[in-house]
């Protein structure tokens, strides 16, 4: 098959192909990968600025940026490639999306932040993207894209050049536009779920976020493109919910065994698993959204946080704050509380997102 290639290129390519298949320590699967870790990091670093610019640039809010990075770094401490340096940044785009570049670069749009309900849901999104990085999905996908381009393979092995960067840019752009394979998305879901649970978050918030995502998927923008090219959202909800319940059940069982000094039975019921409530940090998250730009920059609005007072309903809040009681249903929907009647009394002290 390689006989048509010049001898020098064959000398480069054949050992490369033989050595490129190795076991990925994060997924424990044998995979084809010609991109070294050093090159993977460099590719992500070189692409990070232009990618951020293509999504409106870095969002100018140091307070919010530091918070997103803080949550991301919690997950980094428990991930499979914690020795890498990770960067978490909010980009100034109204679409609903999050994505990762090779080597530790994670981006989330302000549009998606506006739709999340708590810090645990944020951790579920960031954890999923960290999962892609830990499993080296970009590097593997790039390797596969180059796998049939033998001359380009040789160039990539020999060193960086314009041809390499063109191929890399094309591959990264396609990945951000179309996502990864079904198997790799499920891998990232499972890894992100593990990371967020180990970091102390309620793992059920992964499936809760995906349920919200299924409601938000309308039109070919942002996360609706993401969902259209990823595994069926309801499959992801089922998988992540089952895995989360299993994690909780195993931990509850372990706790019971420890209480019994590892002797006797320690059964866990469905009711006990369902009653489990982990950390979600809702107030902490919502507080950081105050003043967040919402919608396009051509016709901008902002999110303001309203603290519910005694006797407040969605109708009274809409009339008091927006001077339009017809906005009550939109406020309820935006806060994922559309299962309530707009004239039901709300819990005092609860923080609501309102678009001004």
Q: Which residue has the higher pLDDT, 153 or 102?
A: 102
- In the chain, what is the greatest distance between 2 CA atoms, to the nearest angstrom? 82
Which domains, and CATH codes, for the chain? 7-178 (no CATH), 300-355 (3.10.350)
* Residue 165, pLDDT score: 53
HSE at residue 275, side-chain half, CA atoms within 13 A, is: 6
The predicted structure's pLDDT at residue 155: 44
pLDDT value at 16 more than 50:
no
- The pLDDT of residue 302 is 96
Q: Six-digit token pair at 169?
A: 């840019």
Closest CA to 352 of 307, 317, 321: 307
Q: Please tell me the predicted confidence (pLDDT) of residue 192.
A: 96
Bridge-based pairing state of the strands 87-91 and 105-109: parallel
CA distance 73 to 84: 11
Average pLDDT in the 228-247 region? 83
CB neighbours of residue 240 within 10 Å = 25
Using only C-alpha atoms, what is the Rg of the chain? 23
- Tokens 């707009």 sit at which residue? 342
What distance in Å separates the CA atoms of residue 284 and residue 281, rounded to the nearest whole number? 5
Residues 107, 124 contacting (CB under 8 angstroms): no
In the prediction, which pLDDT does 148 show?
Answer: 45
DSSP label at residue 295: S
State the average pLDDT for the chain. Answer: 82
Position 264 pLDDT exceeds 60: no
Q: Give me the pLDDT at residue 5, please.
A: 45
Query: Average pLDDT in the 74-86 region?
Result: 97
Could you give the count of Cα atoms lying within 13 Å of 47 in the half-sphere of its Cβ?
28
Q: Is 60 or 212 the better-scoring residue by pLDDT?
A: 60
* Helix 119-134 vs helix 182-198: crossing angle, to nearest 10: 120
Query: Cα 92–71–28 angle (5° rounding)?
Result: 105
- Higher local confidence (pLDDT), 284 or 270: 284
Only one residue has tokens 């990091």, namely: 41
34: alpha, beta or left, given left = phi > 0 and alpha = psi -120 to 50?
Answer: alpha
Q: pLDDT value at position 37?
A: 85
Using DSSP, state whether 111 is helix, strand or coil: helix
pLDDT confidence of 230, banded at 50, 70, 90?
low
What does the block give as tokens for 29?
């699967």
Q: Report pLDDT digits (tens) over 101-123.
A: 989 999 999 999 999 999 999 99
d(CA 346, CA 356): 20
d(CA 168, CA 292): 33
Distance CA 119, CA 56 (A): 24
Tell me what the mean pLDDT of segment 197-222 comes to.
80
Q: Which range among 52-56, 57-61, 138-142, 270-274 shows the weakest confidence by mean pLDDT?
A: 138-142
* Torsion angle, alpha carbons of 145, 149, 153, 159, to 10: -90
6-15, 97-106, 260-269: segment of lowest average pLDDT: 6-15
Say if residues 223 and 217 touch (Cβ distance below 8 Å).
yes
Count of residues in the chain? 356
Assigned token pair, 32: 């084809």
Helices 204-216/119-134 angle, 10° precision: 90
Per residue in 274-308, is it b (16+ CB within 10 Å) or e — as a string? Answer: eebebbbbeeebbebbeebbbeeeeeeeebbbbeb
Q: Is the pLDDT of residue 8 over 50?
A: no
Mean pLDDT of 169-175: 61
Strand partners, 201: 279
Confidence tier at 137 by pLDDT (50, 70, 90): confident
DSSP string, 275-308: H---B--HHHHHHTTTT-EES-SSS-EEEEEEE-
**pLDDT, position 83:** 95
Element (H, E) at 307: strand 301-307
* Residue 151 pLDDT level (bands cut at 50, 70, 90): very low
| pLDDT tens digits, 305-337 | 999 999 999 999 999 999 999 999 999 999 999
Q: Which two tokens stand for residue 290?
A: 């105050």
Check whether 14 has a pLDDT greater than 50: no
pTM for the predicted model, two decimal places = 0.84
């Amino acid at each position: 098959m390689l006989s048509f290639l010049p001898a020098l290129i064959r000398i480069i390519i054949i050992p490369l192909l033989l050595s490129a298949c190795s076991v990925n320590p994060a997924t424990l699967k044998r995979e084809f990968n010609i991109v070294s870790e050093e090159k993977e990091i460099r590719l992500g670093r070189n692409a990070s600025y232009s990618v951020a610019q293509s999504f409106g640039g870095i969002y100018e809010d140091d307070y919010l940026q530091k918070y997103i990075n803080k949550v991301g770094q919690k997950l980094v401490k428990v991930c499979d490639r914690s020795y890498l340096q990770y960067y978490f940044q909010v980009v100034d785009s109204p679409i609903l999306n999050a994505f990762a570049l090779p080597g530790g670069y994670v981006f989330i749009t302000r549009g998606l932040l506006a739709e999340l309900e708590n810090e645990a849901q944020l951790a579920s999104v960031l954890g999923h993207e960290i999962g892609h990085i830990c499993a080296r999905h970009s590097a593997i996908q790039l390797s596969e894209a180059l796998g049939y381009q033998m001359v380009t393979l040789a160039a990539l092995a020999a060193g960086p050049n314009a041809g390499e960067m063109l191929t890399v840019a094309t591959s990264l752009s396609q990945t951000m536009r179309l996502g990864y394979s079904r198997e790799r998305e499920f891998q990232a879901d499972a890894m992100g779920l593990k990371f967020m649970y180990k970091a102390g978050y309620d793992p059920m918030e992964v499936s809760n976020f995906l349920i919200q995502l299924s409601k938000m998927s309308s039109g070919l923008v942002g996360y609706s493109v993401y969902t259209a090219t990823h595994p069926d959202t309801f499959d992801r909800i089922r998988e992540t919910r089952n895995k989360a319940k299993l994690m909780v059940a195993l931990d509850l069982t372990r706790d019971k065994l420890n209480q019994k000094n590892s002797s006797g039975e320690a059964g866990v019921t469905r009711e006990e698993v369902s009653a489990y409530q982990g950390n979600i940090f809702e107030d902490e998250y919502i507080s950081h959204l105050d003043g967040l730009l919402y919608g396009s920059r051509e016709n901008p609005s902002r999110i303001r946080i309203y603290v519910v007072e005694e006797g407040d309903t969605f109708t009274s809040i809409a009339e008091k704050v927006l001077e339009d009681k017809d906005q009550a249903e939109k406020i309820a929907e935006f806060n994922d509380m559309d299962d309530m009647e707009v004239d039901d009394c709300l819990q005092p002290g609860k923080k609501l997102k309102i678009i001004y």
